[in-house]
Amino acid sequence: MKTIVIGAGLGGLLSAARLSQAGYQVEVFERLPLTGGRFTNINFRGFQLSTGALHMLPHGPAGPLAQFLKEVKADVIIVRADRPTIRLPLKKHHPDYRHGFKDIAFSEFTKPLSHKDRLKIALLVVSTRKNRPTGSSLQTWIRTQFKDEWLVKFADSFCGWSLSLKSDKVRVEEIFEIIESMYRFGGPGVPIGGCKAVIDALEAVIFANGGRIHTRAEVSQILVENGRATGVVVGNETYRADLVISNLGHAATACLCSEALKEKIYADYIRMLKTLQPSAGIKICLAADEPLIGYSGVLLTPYAKRVNGINEVTHVDPKLAPPGKHLTMSHQYVAPENVKSLENEIDSGLNDLKEIFPGRKYEVLLIQSYHDNWPVNRAASGTDPGNETPISNLYVVGDGAKGKGGIEVEGVALGVAAAMKKIIG
Amino acid sequence: MKINDNCVGCGQCTSFCKQEAIEVKGKAKITAACVECGICSFYCPVKAIEVPM
Ligand SMILES: Cc1cc2nc3c(=O)[nH]c(=O)nc-3n(C[C@H](O)[C@H](O)[C@H](O)COP(=O)(O)OP(=O)(O)OC[C@H]3O[C@@H](n4cnc5c(N)ncnc54)[C@H](O)[C@@H]3O)c2cc1C
C-alpha cells in the first residue's frame, strides 16, 4: 500500500513509523527544512530550546507516547521527572508571592483547604472514580462542590500548564479522564536529548523500514476522486497514493481539498471545522548559572498573574544547556481575547518570573508565543473531532485529532494509535 | 525582510539567523543587523517572512 504523510511533526512521524513497520510504502512530505514540527530542538546560543514543547512527556516512560515508541522500536530514553510541586504564598491571605512563598508537593494540593473540604475531597476521590462527573466545565463543577476559590486557582494553573486552557474551558469529563491517566501512567518525564531525540528515533525507524522523508516539500493539494483521497500535489509533481495521512489538523487539511469538500454532503463537517478553537500560550526560556527551581519536577504557580508553571529540564539532561548552565522554561495560557495584546501578556509573564524567583540571577533567552496557525494545541483538549474525515482514505493525526484524556503529545500518540488501528487493524 | 501578519512570535526564525538580526516579543522584528540573506524565511512555520525581490 502506497501511503503519503503530509507533515513531519510528531503525529506524522509516529504514523509513518507504524505504517512502514507494517509494510506500507511510506513517503512523508514536510514543508520546512527541518522535521519535528512543534516538537524538536532549536539551538539557541548553545541551549537546546524547542520549536514548541517544553521537552516534557506528560506521562513519562510509561505513558501512551512511550508505549507507542517502544512498539515501533524507536530508541529513546525517557526519564521520569521529580514529583511536581505547587508554590503557595507564605500566608493564605496573601494574594501573590511578594511577601514570600512556600512550596508543597502536588499530592498535598488539599493542604490549603479546611478540614471539612479535605474530607469532602477524600470522599470525592473514591466516588468520582465510579461515577464520573459529566456535563459541565471543570470550573463549574468545582464551584458546585466547593466555596473555597483555591481549587479553581489550582485547577487553572494545572490546566494552563498542561492544556493551555483555563478551567472554565475544560470539560469535566476530559479532566477526569486525565486524572485516570495520571493514576495509570504516572507523571511527566523528559526524553534524554529533548524533543529531538524522539524525532530522530522515529526517523531512524522510518528509514530502516524503507520509508522516505522529503523536507522543503509543501503539499499544495490533496487529490480527491469520487470521495476518495488518491494522492497529493507537491510543487509541479503529482504523487499518487492509496492512503493519505495529514498531520495538519482538520481545518488546514480541509483547505487542501476545499474544492472536493464543496459538495453538500460535507456541509456538516465544514460546519464542525468552524467550531474548532486552537489554544494559545507563551513560553519564556531562561538561562541561569545556579538552578532556579533545583529539581526536575514541574513547579506550578497558581498565585502568579499569568505564568501557570515552570520546569528545569537540565536536572534530567544537563546537555540541554551549555556546561554549568541551567535551562528553565515557563508556560502561560493566553486567553483568546488577549492574543491581540501579546506584548502585555509577555510583560505580565516576565513580572511573574521576577516574583517567583526574587533576587535570583537569570537571563531571558527567548520568548516564544503560539496561537492560531501555530498554536499550543490545534484542537482545545476534549474537543478533538477524531481521526477520520468524510473523504475515504484520508485521515488526520496530530494535536488536531488527539485521543481522549491524552495531554498534549500523549493525546497525539493516542490519536495516532486509534487511527492506525482503523487502518492496519 | 518584511514580517507580515501571519507571524505568531514563535521565535523559530531567530535561532536560524546567523546575524542575530531578529528580535522576538509577541512578533518577530528585523533589526539593522539583517543582511537580507533570506534564510529565516525558509524556517518560518507560518509563512510570515517576505523576502524582497
Ligand atoms: C509552547 C508549547 C509548549 C508545549 N509543551 C509541551 C510539553 O511540554 N509536552 C507536550 O507533550 N506537549 C507540549 N506541547 C504540545 C506539542 O508540542 C504538540 O502537541 C505537538 O508538537 C503537535 O505535533 P503535531 O504533529 O500534531 O503537529 P506539528 O508539530 O505542527 O506538525 C505539523 C507539520 O506539518 C508541516 N506542514 C504544515 N503544512 C504543510 C504542508 N502543506 N505540506 C507539508 N508539510 C506541512 C509543518 O511544518 C509541521 O512540521 C507544547 C506546545 C507548545 C506550542
Q: What is the DSSP string of A326-381?
A: EEEEEEEEE-GGGGGGHHHHHHHHHHHHHHHSTT---EEEEEEEEBTTB-SBSS-T
Of B8, B15, B24, the CB nearest to A43: B15
Q: Answer yes or no: do B25 and A51 touch at CB < 8 A.
A: no
Mutational test site, ligand 1, from A409, A410, A414, A416, max ligand atoms within 8 Å of CB: A409
Q: Answer yes or no: do A42 and B16 touch at CB < 8 A.
A: yes
Q: How many CB atoms lie within 10 A of CB A32?
A: 21
For residues A182 and A158, what is the distance between their CA atoms, to the nearest angstrom? 13
Percent of chain A with pLDDT over 90: 98
Asked if pLDDT for residue B52 goes beyond 90, the answer is: no
Asked if pLDDT for residue A116 goes beyond 80, the answer is: yes
**Nearest residue by C-alpha to atom 1 in ligand 1:** A52
- Residue pointed to by grid coordinates 516579543: B25
Least confident of A300-304, A405-409, B23-27: A405-409
For residues B35 and B21, what is the distance between their CA atoms, to the nearest angstrom? 8
Asked if pLDDT for residue A309 goes beyond 90, the answer is: yes
The CB of A31 under 6 Å from ligand 1? The reply is yes
Instruction: Name the amino acid, one letter, at A190.
Output: V
Q: Answer yes or no: do A367 and B9 touch at CB < 8 A.
A: yes
What is the span of the domain harbouring residue B35? 2-50
Q: What pLDDT, on a 0 to 100 scale, did the predictor assign at position B27?
A: 97
Q: How far is B44 from chain A (nearest CA, A)?
A: 8
The CB of A412 under 6 Å from ligand 1? The reply is yes
Q: Tell me the pLDDT tens digit for each residue of A314-330.
A: 999 999 999 999 999 99
For residues A417 and A392, what is the distance between their CA atoms, to the nearest angstrom? 18
Measured CA to CA in angstroms, residue B6 lies from A230, A371, A373 at distances of 31, 10, 8
Q: What pLDDT, on a 0 to 100 scale, did the predictor assign at position A15?
A: 98
CB A287 within 8 A of CB A326: yes
Selection from A164, A390, A176, A411 nearest residue A278 by Cα: A164
Contact of A343 with chain B, judged by CB distance below 8 Å, is answered with yes
Percent of chain A with pLDDT over 70: 100
**Main-chain dihedrals φ then ψ at residue A261, nearest 5 degrees:** -80, 0
Asked if pLDDT for residue A381 goes beyond 90, the answer is: no
The tally of CA atoms less than 13 A away on the side-chain side of residue B34 is 21
**Nearest residue by C-alpha to atom 22 in ligand 1:** A399
- A-chain CB neighbours of B38 within 8 Å are none
The residues pairing with A363 across neighbouring beta strands, listed in sequence order, are A287
Q: Answer yes or no: do B43 and A32 touch at CB < 8 A.
A: yes
Q: What pLDDT, on a 0 to 100 scale, did the predictor assign at position A404?
A: 87
pLDDT band at A287 (very low <50, low <70, confident <90, very high): very high
For chain A, what are the domain ranges?
Answer: 2-41+63-78+193-275+383-423
Q: Which residue of B has its CA nearest to A350?
A: B25
- B-chain CB neighbours of A345 within 8 Å are 26
Widest pairwise Cα distance in chain A: 69
Q: What pLDDT, on a 0 to 100 scale, did the predictor assign at position A407?
A: 94
For residues A35 and A16, what is the distance between their CA atoms, to the nearest angstrom? 13
pLDDT band at A312 (very low <50, low <70, confident <90, very high): very high
The tally of CA atoms less than 13 A away on the side-chain side of residue A117 is 16
Asked if pLDDT for residue A119 goes beyond 90, the answer is: yes
ipTM of the complex: 0.98
Report, at the CATH architecture level, how domain A2-41+63-78+193-275+383-423 is classified.
3-Layer(bba) Sandwich (3.50)
Average pLDDT, chain A: 97
- Give the number of domains in chain B: 1
Distance B18 CA to ligand 1 centre (A): 24
